[in-house]
Amino acid sequence: MSVFQMTRTLDEHAADRALRKDVLRGMTRVPKELPPKWFYDARGSELFEEITRLPEYYPTRAEREILLERAREIAAVSGARTLVELGSGSSEKTRHLIEALPALETYVPVDVSESALTGAAESLLEAHPGLNVHALLADFTAPLHLPDSPGPRLVVFLGGTIGNLLPAERAVFLASVRAMLSPGDALLMGTDLVKDEAVLVAAYDDAQGVTAEFDKNVLAVIDRELGADFHTADFEHVAVWNREHEWIEMRLRARSAVTVKIRALDLVVPFEEGEEILTEISAKFRHEGVRKELAEAGLELAHWWTDSAGRFALSLSVA
């Protein structure tokens, strides 16, 4: 018999307060910015799923290739009875891991999207009767309290989502993951790798314009949730490779001078023509950098696997 439960660490009011705080801060600073976590309402989560199927967006396929190739090795090394997935989304890739882990009893998906969590749990429970699913509606960048579940635990953080964090935020995040691990537990993390600029920019500015729509969806979220009057047509999606920091920046650029009212904040936000909102950074990594960041958080890199084309890496580290 399988059991499904959901723990909400984000009640609706907390999410609303967090959105207000982020939007107020981001719209009144120079340059303007918005945190990428607000992309993922039901529509944004759908658009992201569409991105993962685009010809230009290789990370999902590259990571899936590694997971398929290494699932048995990962299972043997970890022996996990509990699988915790931070930023689980559709849990699509995790399926391969779940199937490969013979001792697995409990799956703990952690995500800010309730629709993604319930959708993923439904299809997983159908495929794995007997698996316990304890979903956590939570922001993984905040300190997490994991439900009681049997060890060893394998914590997975896939897709290269660590790249959405600034280096200082990554240090805090990795230290908090380290604090979740007991001896014998492990962290499996996906990191996109530094590569040719044209390949990277295309992955974040696809020909069909799906990424542009995804980027602009954050404005639709603010319009709906905070009674704002952003017109997505007034903004243009831009993807830029930042060579110094080795990250992609997604920005929304005002096509002309516009003024936006955000009713819930009682705020009027002027944009100059060409003014940009930074909506996401997606950092790209190198082996030595990942090893160092893990080590600084008290995690020892034990395995490093890449896809055959060397575009993406999975690292397995231990406390």
Binding residues for L-histidine: 57, 164, 204, 280-282
221 binds ligand AVJ (CB under 6 A): no
Region near ligand AVJ per CB under 6 A, out of 14-22, 124-132, 161-169, 227-235: 161-169
The residue count for binding ligand AVJ (CB under 6 A) is: 11
Region near ligand AVJ per CB under 6 A, out of 75-83, 160-168, 258-266, 289-297: 160-168
Within 8 A by CB and 6+ apart from 231, the residues are 258
Residue ranges of E strands in 158-246: 186-192, 235-242
133: tokens are: 């699913």
* Binding positions for S-adenosyl-L-methionine: 87, 93, 111, 139-140
290 binds ligand AVJ (CB under 6 A): no
**Largest Cα–Cα separation, the chain:** 59
Region near ligand AVJ per CB under 6 A, out of 9-17, 156-164, 181-189, 251-259: 156-164
Site map (CB under 6 A) of ligand AVJ, residues 73-112, x = contact: ----------------------------------------
What stretch of H or E contains 68? helix 59-78
At 90, is the secondary structure helix, strand, or coil? coil
279 binds ligand AVJ (CB under 6 A): no
* Binding positions: 57, 87, 93, 111, 139-140, 164, 204, 280-282
Tell which one of 45, 211, 315, 317 touches ligand AVJ (CB under 6 A).
Answer: 211
Residue 208: CB minimum distance to ligand AVJ, A: 13
210 binds ligand AVJ (CB under 6 A): no
Count other Cβ atoms within 10 Å, centred on residue 244. Answer: 5
113 binds ligand AVJ (CB under 6 A): no
Cα dihedral: 231, 248, 157, 67 (round 10):
110
Site map (CB under 6 A) of ligand AVJ, residues 40-79, x = contact: -----------x-------x--------------------
What stretch of H or E contains 46? helix 42-51
Q: Nearest residue to ligand AVJ, using CB?
A: 282
Closer to ligand AVJ at the Cβ: 35 or 160? 160
161 binds ligand AVJ (CB under 6 A): yes
41: tokens are: 């309402």
Tell which one of 163, 173, 217, 311 touches ligand AVJ (CB under 6 A).
Answer: 163
Tell which one of 84, 120, 160, 191 touches ligand AVJ (CB under 6 A).
Answer: 160
Within 8 A by CB and 6+ apart from 122, the residues are none
Phi first, then psi, for residue 313 (nearest 5°) are: -130, 145
Closer to ligand AVJ at the Cβ: 51 or 108? 51
Closer to ligand AVJ at the Cβ: 51 or 137? 51
With residues binned 3-state (H G I as helix, E B as strand, rest as coil), the percentages for the chain, rounded to 5, are: 40, 25, 30
User: End-to-end CA distance of the chain, in Å?
Assistant: 33
> Which value, in Å, is the radius of gyration of the alpha carbons in the chain?
20
CA 86/CA 161 separation, integer angstroms: 9
Please state, in angstroms and as integers, the Cα–Cα distance from residue 217 to each residue in 3, 52, 88, following that order.
Answer: 34, 16, 20
What stretch of H or E contains 271? strand 267-271
Q: Which residues contact ligand AVJ (rule: CB under 6 A)?
A: 51, 59, 159-161, 163-164, 204, 211, 280, 282
